[in-house]
Amino acid sequence: MILNTGLIMAITLAIIHGYIAKLPIFSLVPRFRWLSFAGGVSLSYVFLEVFPQLSKTQEALEHSKIPILNYLEHNVYLFSLIGLIIFYGLDLVASKSKKKNGSAAFWLHMSTFSILNVITGYLLQDLGNHNLVEGILFFIPIGLHFFIIDEHLREHHQLLFDKSGRWYLIGAIIFGSAIGQLGQLNEAAIAIIWSFLAGSIILNVLKHELPDQQNNCFVSFVIGNLLFITLLIAAH
| DSSP assignment string, 192-219 | HHHHHHHHHHHHHHHHHSS--TTS--HH
Q: Does residue 56 or residue 117 have the better pLDDT? A: 117
Q: What is the pLDDT of residue 2?
A: 44
Task: Considering only CA atoms, give the Rg of the chain.
Answer: 18
Question: Which stretches of the chain are DSSP H helices?
Answer: 2-19, 25-28, 31-45, 51-62, 75-100, 102-123, 132-160, 166-182, 187-208, 218-235
| Mean pLDDT within 126-142 | 77
Cα 78 from Cα 166, distance rounded (Å)? 31
| Mean pLDDT within 167-171 | 94
Under the banding of pLDDT at 50, 70 and 90, the label for residue 186 is confident
Predicted confidence (pLDDT) at residue 64 exceeds the cutoff of 90 = no
Q: Give yes or no for a contact between 126 and 182, defined as CB atoms under 8 angstroms apart.
A: no
What secondary structure letter does DSSP report for 162?
I
Average pLDDT along the chain = 82
Q: What is the pLDDT of residue 97?
A: 73
Cα 39 from Cα 69, distance rounded (Å)? 34
Cα 217 from Cα 33, distance rounded (Å)? 5
Q: Give yes or no for a contact between 153 and 170, defined as CB atoms under 8 angstroms apart.
A: no
Q: What is the pLDDT of residue 207?
A: 80
Q: Does residue 208 or residue 55 have the better pLDDT? A: 55
Q: What is the pLDDT of residue 194?
A: 84
Predicted confidence (pLDDT) at residue 73 exceeds the cutoff of 70 = no
Comparing 60-69, 91-100, 226-235, the range with the smallest average pLDDT is 60-69
Calculate the alpha carbon distances from 85 to 88, 185, 215 in Å.
5, 25, 26
Under the banding of pLDDT at 50, 70 and 90, the label for residue 1 is very low
| Mean pLDDT within 192-213 | 80
Comparing 1-10, 149-158, 159-168, 183-192, the range with the smallest average pLDDT is 1-10
Q: pTM here?
A: 0.85
Predicted confidence (pLDDT) at residue 188 exceeds the cutoff of 50 = yes
Looking at the chain, the whole-number percentage of residues with pLDDT higher than 90 is 17
| Mean pLDDT within 73-88 | 84
End-to-end CA distance of the chain: 23
